[in-house]
C-alpha cells in the first residue's frame, strides 16, 4: 500500500461563478463529482474532502456516495491555505503523503494522480504536475514536508508559496496527455469546457 491519501479542496463559495459552482452540471455530472471520480480511480488508500459553506450540503452528499470522508473547515473564508491544512490535519498516522486536488478542475483525472504517486514511491518529497512545462495541480506532499506547509501557508495562495521557496524539494512530473488543469471560475469557463467536450478537442475522461 502506498500510504498516499487524497485531499480535495471544496470549501470555496464560488463568488465569481455566482454561487453553486461545484454542483453545476458538466458532462452530465456535478462539477465536483469529476474530481471525486478521479480520487476513486487513482491509486490512493483513501481521501478527504474539505468543505466550508456554499455548496457544502450537496458536496457532502456526493462525498458520501463516493466514500470520501468530509472535513469541515470553519476558517474557509481565510483562504485556500486553511483548507490544505485542515485536510492534511485530518489524515491519520498511516498517511505517508497527501495529493491535493481542487474541486473545480474536472479534467485532472486519475492518470495525473497516478504519476504523482509513482514519483513519491521513487523518493519525491513534493511532486507537482506540469502541463506544457508549467507547474499546476495536483500536487503531492510527503509527510516529511507537512511541517513546511504548517509554517508557511497563508491566505488564498495555497501551496504555491512553498513550491517557490523550496524548489530543491520539488519534482516536476509531466502530466500532458493524462490530465488537464483547466479550472472553472466563471460560468463562461464552464461553457468553454463544455464546448471543448462537444468538439472533441481532447480526450476527456469518460462519464
CA 95 – CA 141 distance, rounded (Å): 11
Number of domains in the chain: 1
> Is residue 204 assigned to a domain?
no
Q: What value does the mean pLDDT take over residues 36-42?
A: 96
Over the stretch 108-160, which tens digit does the pLDDT of each residue have?
999 999 999 999 999 999 999 999 999 999 999 999 999 999 999 988 877 88
158 or 67: which leads in pLDDT: 67
Indicate the SS3 state at residue 57: helix
Residue 79, domain CATH: 3.90.550.10
Grid coordinates given for 53: 459553506
* Reported confidence tier of residue 182, pLDDT bands at 50, 70, 90: very high
> Is residue 26 assigned to a domain?
yes
Q: What value does the mean pLDDT take over residues 79-105?
A: 96
First and final CA of the chain: distance in angstroms? 27
> Is residue 207 assigned to a domain?
no
> Is residue 206 assigned to a domain?
no
> Is residue 107 assigned to a domain?
yes
Place of cell 462519464: 207
Please provide the DSSP assignment of 4-49 as one string: EEEEEEE----TTTTS-GGGSEETTEEHHHHHHHHHHHSS-SEEEE
> What's the confidence (pLDDT) of residue 204?
45
> Is residue 40 assigned to a domain?
yes
> What's the confidence (pLDDT) of residue 95?
98
Q: What value does the mean pLDDT take over residues 33-37?
A: 96
CB 96 within 8 A of CB 117: no
- Which residues constitute the domain of residue 108? 4-199
> What's the confidence (pLDDT) of residue 196?
84
CA 143 – CA 129 distance, rounded (Å): 18
> What's the confidence (pLDDT) of residue 173?
98
200 or 134: which leads in pLDDT: 134
Going 194 to 22 to 171 to 161, the CA torsion angle's sign is: positive
> What's the confidence (pLDDT) of residue 106?
94
pLDDT beyond 70 at 205: no
Q: How far is CA 142 from its chain centroid? A: 15
> What's the confidence (pLDDT) of residue 201?
55
> Is residue 19 assigned to a domain?
yes
Over the stretch 101-118, which tens digit does the pLDDT of each residue have?
999 999 999 999 999 999
> Is residue 135 assigned to a domain?
yes
CB 84 within 8 A of CB 7: yes
> What's the confidence (pLDDT) of residue 38?
96
Amino acid at each position: 500500500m502506498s500510504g498516499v491519501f487524497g485531499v480535495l479542496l471544496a470549501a470555496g463559495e464560488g463568488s465569481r461563478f455566482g454561487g453553486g459552482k461545484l454542483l453545476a452540471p458538466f458532462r452530465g455530472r456535478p462539477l465536483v463529482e469529476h474530481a471525486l471520480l478521479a480520487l476513486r480511480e487513482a491509486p490512493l488508500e483513501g481521501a478527504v474532502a474539505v468543505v466550508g459553506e456554499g455548496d457544502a450540503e450537496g458536496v457532502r452528499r456526493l462525498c458520501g456516495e463516493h466514500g470520501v470522508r468530509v472535513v469541515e473547515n470553519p476558517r474557509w473564508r481565510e483562504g485556500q491555505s486553511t483548507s490544505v491544512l485542515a485536510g492534511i490535519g485530518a489524515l491519520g498516522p498511516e498517511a505517508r503523503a497527501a495529493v491535493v486536488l481542487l474541486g473545480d478542475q474536472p479534467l485532472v483525472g486519475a492518470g495525473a494522480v497516478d504519476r504523482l504517486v509513482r514519483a513519491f514511491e521513487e523518493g519525491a518529497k513534493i511532486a507537482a504536475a506540469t502541463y506544457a512545462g508549467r507547474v499546476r495541480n495536483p500536487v503531492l506532499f510527503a509527510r516529511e514536508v507537512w511541517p513546511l506547509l504548517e509554517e508557511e501557508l497563508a491566505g488564498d495562495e495555497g501551496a504555491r508559496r512553498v513550491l517557490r521557496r523550496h524548489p530543491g524539494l520539488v519534482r516536476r512530473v509531466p502530466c500532458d496527455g493524462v490530465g488537464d488543469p483547466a479550472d472553472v471560475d466563471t460560468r463562461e469557463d464552464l461553457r468553454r469546457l463544455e464546448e471543448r467536450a462537444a468538439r472533441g478537442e481532447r480526450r476527456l475522461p469518460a462519464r
